Amino acid sequence: MNKTLKIYIAILIVVFALILMADRNRPKPIDWRPTYSVNDKIPFGMYVFDKEIGGLLKKQKIERVSAVTPYEFLDAKYDADTTVQTYKIKGTFLNIAEFGNMDEASITEIFYFVSHGNNAFLSMKTFPQSLLDSLKLDYRADFQISDSTSFWLGNKNLNNKKYHLTEGMSDYYFSKIDTLNTTVLGYQGNNVKEKHINFIKVPYKNGYFYLHTQPAAFTNFHLLKSNHYQYAENVLSYIPEDDVFWYTKGQNSETISESPMRYILSQPALKWAWWLALIGMLIFMIFNAKRKQRVVPILKPLPNLTVDFTKTIGNLYYQEGDHTNIIDKKIIYFLERIRNEYLMETTKLDEDFIKKLHHKSGKDEDDIRNLVTLINEHRKSYHGSLEEDLIRINNAIEKILH
């Protein structure tokens, strides 16, 4: 383990220790988020309702719908056979959520389900506009919730007791209903004179819609506080004694998380520790992204021994002063190049040779003639050549070959 890594680890340990010391004596904050999730034990979760629904809806079979949308669930239960054309199930579709953000296909399917003699119980602060329009309803949110706010049911024979519920309760109420067809089941108000409708029963073809604007009444907070559970029990008593299909796929347009990190991310302290660990690892990777290895030594390329050998031989000839021998080898090399590159006969260096080489190579004719003259003179000379002769012939050959 290198020194840099040890420093990073030490810094992370110190930071974690400081966090633990800071949070040791701090009370755990209450999570007031209205999740309406059956898995949450926070005030506005529905963990208690999930455990007690069997006692609230006695002698009724309850099926939880959590894997699909309302449309997918109900459509799968419909028998499209021309001799049947009805649902294989019968009962009440139940949905309790903060807001009614259902897709249009699901709303249409719920209407179709109710039209076949079934029911839909929806407890939400707001409802889909298409549902309100179809049932000739409207709502407002100008009602002020206070400590003096009361909630009660309209059926005096059932229970006329007023319940004082405040936390999480909705200021929404129905401001417009179809008075000829709608039955008012519950109210909310701050005094005797001020009361607003928050619970209604609306017929639709062969079934009924039960619409309630106070979903918080079914959350953990109110089911465990004083006698508030009685209000929730009385509201649910209007559900007909058939099977109940409770939609629990997540509230507020959220899907219930199945991630193993769900609990960690739901706790502020654990969440910050998790993010800090991720940030620490990211910083570590950034500073250590550069690959570390020993310095690669510079290797010199292998020398060209052929060139060295040629230079050595040339130096020997030059030091011996044997210019004639060097000129002969230069001439042999030149004529060999001419034979290989231009496929010409080199036994006779005459005017015809000069013209052919000029046409084939494109070199200046006078330069070729000068070289041929020097070669012929060298061959006819019976005395040794001088260094100047070697230089002239070498320069003449270079003009032709380059």
Across 253-262, 353-362, 370-379, least confident range: 253-262
Please give the residue that has the higher pLDDT: either 258 or 312.
Answer: 312
Contact 135, 203 (CB under 8 A): no
Distances (CA, A) of 278 to 14, 22, 210, 222, 270: 16, 20, 48, 38, 12
Q: CB atoms < 10 A from the CB of 103, how many?
A: 13
What whole-number distance in Å separates Cα of residue 168 and Cα of residue 219? 9
**DSSP label at residue 182:** -
| Type and span of the H or E element at 340 | helix 323-342
Tell me what percent of the residues of the chain surpass a pLDDT of 90: 44
Domain ranges of the chain: 47-256, 305-401
Distances (CA, A) of 337 to 341, 358, 371: 6, 15, 14
The domain made up of 47-256 has a fold known as Rossmann fold (3.40.50)
Tens of pLDDT, residue by residue over 252-296, are 444 445 566 767 776 788 888 888 888 888 887 777 766 666 677
Q: Mean per-residue pLDDT for 23-33? A: 78
Please report which confidence band the pLDDT of residue 208 belongs to, taking 50, 70 and 90 as the band edges: very high
pLDDT > 90? residue 150:
yes
